[in-house]
């Protein structure tokens, strides 16, 4: 079936470096994508979203890139900080009001 | 605003027991959702509601029931708890479908802190 997946289950980066978390999706009809951050013991927290009519969107220290040709989504975090350590999920809307979540990537920031 | 609140935070059930997980949001959101998250996994949608009196099944509805009598509350009911229902349960809400052209879209979902349920 349609699914959202991630390439890397764990990403380890040095503090201050940039991080890139990738996500592949399979449903070309998906029109809305979200990145969530989940810290240990907490619920997912919205980071940034992007509609399918855009290919890039920037927030504070974060950028989401959408490549519809290859059905690829990425989250870029600039100047990664220890507080960025968490599990990051991408999610896509492909059926009305429902989101399909990927399996998550754990980001570990080394001091 | 408190956002989305969930109670209890933790619960241990015996097989066959029943319980209700409570979820309340104070953002006047029409859409509410229940997810479960198994260890090391992503979230799977159990049930969702597009407004008071309207509910629909998600990806994994078996063993659960929901009701939506008010805009604010969306309780999740487990009637006969099974070990397979050991998980962390998250409630979420959103305002309305997204504004992008080309069909439906879910606006940003705001999540509660979760309920950790263990069935022994």
- pLDDT band at B94; cut points 50, 70, 90: confident
Q: Does B104 touch chain A (CB under 8 A)?
A: yes
What pLDDT does residue B119 have? 97
Report the distance separating Cα B73 and Cα B94, nearest Å: 13
Dihedral pair phi/psi, residue B71, rounded to 5°: -65, -35
- At B28, is the secondary structure helix, strand, or coil? coil
Nearest by CB to B106, from A45, A93, A102: name it: A93
Q: Which residues of chain A have pLDDT under 70?
A: 1-8, 95-97
Report the distance separating Cα B12 and Cα B76, nearest Å: 16
How much of chain B exceeds pLDDT 70, in percent? 90
Reported as a single tens digit per residue, the pLDDT across B34-89 is: 999 987 788 899 999 989 999 999 889 999 999 999 999 999 999 999 999 999 99
What pLDDT does residue A62 have? 95
What pLDDT does residue A6 have? 42
- pLDDT band at B105; cut points 50, 70, 90: very low
- At A45, is the secondary structure helix, strand, or coil? strand
Report the distance separating Cα B27 and Cα B7, nearest Å: 17
A82 secondary structure, DSSP code: G
B105 Rama class: left (phi>0) / alpha (psi -120 to 50) / beta: beta
Distance from CA of A89 to the nearest CA of B (A): 7
Name the average pLDDT for chain B: 88
B39 secondary structure, DSSP code: T
What is the C-alpha R_g of chain B? Answer: 14
What pLDDT does residue B42 have? 82
Q: What is the DSSP string of B59-120?
A: S--TTEEE--SSSSB--EEESS--GGG-EEEEEEEESSB---SSS--BPPPEE---EEEEE-
Residues of chain B positioned with their CB less than 8 A from the CB of A89: 42-43
Distance from CA of A39 to the nearest CA of B (A): 11
Cβ–Cβ of B42/A102 closer than 8 Å? yes
């Amino acid at each position: 079936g349609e699914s959202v997946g991630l390439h890397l289950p764990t990403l380890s980066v040095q503090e201050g470096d940039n991080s890139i978390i990738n996500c592949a999706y399979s449903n070309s009809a998906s029109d809305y994508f979200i990145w969530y951050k989940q810290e240990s013991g907490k619920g997912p927290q919205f980071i940034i979203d992007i509609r399918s009519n855009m290919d890039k969107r920037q927030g504070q220290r974060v950028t989401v890139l959408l490549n519809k040709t290859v059905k690829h989504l990425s989250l870029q975090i600039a100047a990664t900080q220890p507080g960025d350590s968490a599990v990051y999920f991408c999610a896509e809307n492909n059926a009305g009001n429902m989101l399909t979540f990927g399996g998550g990537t754990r980001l570990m920031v080394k001091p | 605003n408190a956002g989305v609140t969930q109670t209890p935070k933790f619960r241990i059930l015996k097989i066959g027991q029943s319980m209700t997980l409570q979820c309340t949001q104070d953002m006047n959101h029409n859409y509410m959702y229940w997810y479960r998250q198994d260890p090391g996994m992503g979230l799977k949608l159990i049930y969702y509601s597009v407004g008071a009196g309207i509910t629909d099944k998600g990806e994994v509805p078996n063993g659960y029931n929901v009701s939506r009598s008010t805009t604010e509350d969306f309780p999740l009911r487990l009637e006969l708890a099974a070990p397979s229902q050991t998980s962390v349960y998250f409630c979420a809400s959103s305002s309305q479908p997204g504004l992008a052209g080309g069909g439906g879209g879910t606006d940003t979902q705001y999540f509660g802190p979760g309920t950790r349920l263990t069935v022994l």
